[in-house]
Amino acid sequence: MKIPRAKILAPTLENLKFVSEALQNNEIIGMPTETVYGLAANARSPLAIARVFQAKSRPYFDPLIVHLGLEGNCVSALAEMKLIDSAQLSPEQRKKIDRMIKKFWPGPLTLILPKHPDIPDLVSSGLPQVGLRMPTHQIAQSLIHFAGFPLAAPSANRFGKISPTSAEAVQEELGDRIDWILDGGTCEIGLESTIVTIPSESQIEILRPGKVTQAELEEVLEVPISIKTINASHLSKEVEEKESLKSPGLLESHYAPSKPCYLLPCSDDKLTIHSFSLNDLHLNVPIPLQDKEVGYLLQSNRSKSWIKTVCHEMNIRPQIRVLSETGNLVESAQNLFKFMREMDSSEVEVILVEPCESEQGLGRAIQDRILRATAHSRKRVF
Ligand code: TXA
Ligand code: MG
């Protein structure tokens, strides 16, 4: 086996200073955050940013999020730090942004705001807005502090692949393309940040669901917020293209394992032997599963024994992983990318994922990532 070039470093003060210097020399590094690991670079250096796109094989139309230090705690501070052009915001918009910052930063919320000219166009893929996030993770904050500049950091995976939630997963993804990964252990949240945009005076939209929910944002802002996310019936090409212009990285098919990955037809509540025939369970799977090793990613324990029976009768060899035995969404979010990654590198030939039907808390974000992971196969099926 090829030994990866990237070294995983313990987050000692010495190592933090060492990688901060690497960042100052336009190098790029793997950095833990509370959501997923990022591939960090000096947000003000076009050379460093270009290296990020290259290492990820990421198309240049897909903009990066800029991670900032704790001092950026209001609109005027962000303007002073030359991150945003606050002149483009109305007093009402500033008020709303300040409220979101006060309530959710540092934390898993990315705000799309008018870009300051000092942020290279490469960061925002030529868009007039930039995505900003203040991570709560201590190591990320220390790096920003020692480096002395904000860090542009997309998730540290190859383009279109599953976001990494551990240093080892970063090594698996980019180990042959970068030198250093700071080890922050397993990410606390496990899914990427909620992305919010303010397209006009009266509109606020969620472009990507995450830990910060629609309900929480509505409570803070006291206005209705729309959510632009995919749903189970696949988007038309036309809609997808239109939406992808708003947030170019959010193409429907994303976060996908390399193996064929299909959605099971319904949640575990309905998965009972009485209401579903054996074939119904595999309704969405266009290939024969008999005699195959099949990965089942289930939401909770409830349908486990039934799936085992079905597999036995159909001569399928199941590898079952349960996101959370008790259906705890926080635990499911932490495990989703980890288990998808493990299944992807296991012996299974096909991965089948049970949908998450909860709209509460992280439910929406979990379902969004599952629909994206299975998007290719859904397109083929319907
Ligand atoms: O939790 C997270 O957000 C993680 C960690 C590392 O912070 N980062 C992350 O970055 O998920 P990335 O690059 O994998 O996803 C960021 C997405 C882009 O694909 C793009 O759709 C959207 O954020 N985005 C960034 N800047 C934008 C902009 N100026 N306008 C619209 N969408 C933007
Ligand atoms: Mg990503």
**Strands of the 151-152 sheet, one edge to the other:** 7-9, 180-182, 29-31, 38-42, 151-152, 65-67, 129-133, 109-114, 194-200, 203-208, 226-227
| The pLDDT of residue 250 | 60
- Measuring from atom 21 of ligand 1, which residue has the nearest CA? 249
Distance (Å) of CA 80 to CA 71, 152, 306: 10, 18, 59
* CA–centroid distance, residue 193 to ligand 1 (Å): 8
**Is the CB of 193 within 6 Å of ligand 1?**
yes
Q: How many CB atoms lie within 10 A of CB 245?
A: 9
Q: Is the CB of 69 under 6 A from ligand 1?
A: no
357/375 Cα distance (integer angstroms): 17
For residue 184 and ligand 1, the question of a CB distance below 6 A is answered with: no
The closest ligand to the CA of 256 turns out to be: 2
Q: What is the mean pLDDT of the chain?
A: 89
What local confidence, expressed as pLDDT, does residue 288 receive? 81
User: DSSP 3-state assignment of 194?
Assistant: strand
195 Cβ below 6 A of ligand 1: yes
**Ligand 1 neighbour 65 (Cβ under 6 A):** yes
64 lines ligand 1 (CB under 6 A): yes
**pLDDT, tens only, 18-34:** 999 999 999 999 999 99
Q: Which atom of ligand 1 is nearest to the CA of 250?
A: 21
Express each pLDDT in 261-291 by its tens digit.
Answer: 988 876 544 554 444 455 556 666 777 888 8
Residue-level pLDDT at 318: 94
Residues of the chain with pLDDT under 70: 1-2, 229-254, 266-284, 378-382
Q: Check residue 302 and give its pLDDT.
A: 85
Cα 79 vs. chain centroid, distance in angstroms? 27
Q: Which atom of ligand 1 sits closest to the CA of residue 248? A: 21
Report the pLDDT value the prediction gives residue 274, as an integer from 0 to 100.
42
Q: What separation in Å is there between the alpha carbon of 119 and the centre of ligand 2?
A: 20
Q: Is the CB of 165 under 6 A from ligand 1?
A: no
What is the rounded distance in angstroms from the CA atom of residue 25 to the CA atom of residue 284? 50
Centre of ligand 1 from the C-alpha of residue 95, in Å: 23
pLDDT computed for residue 305 by the predictor: 85
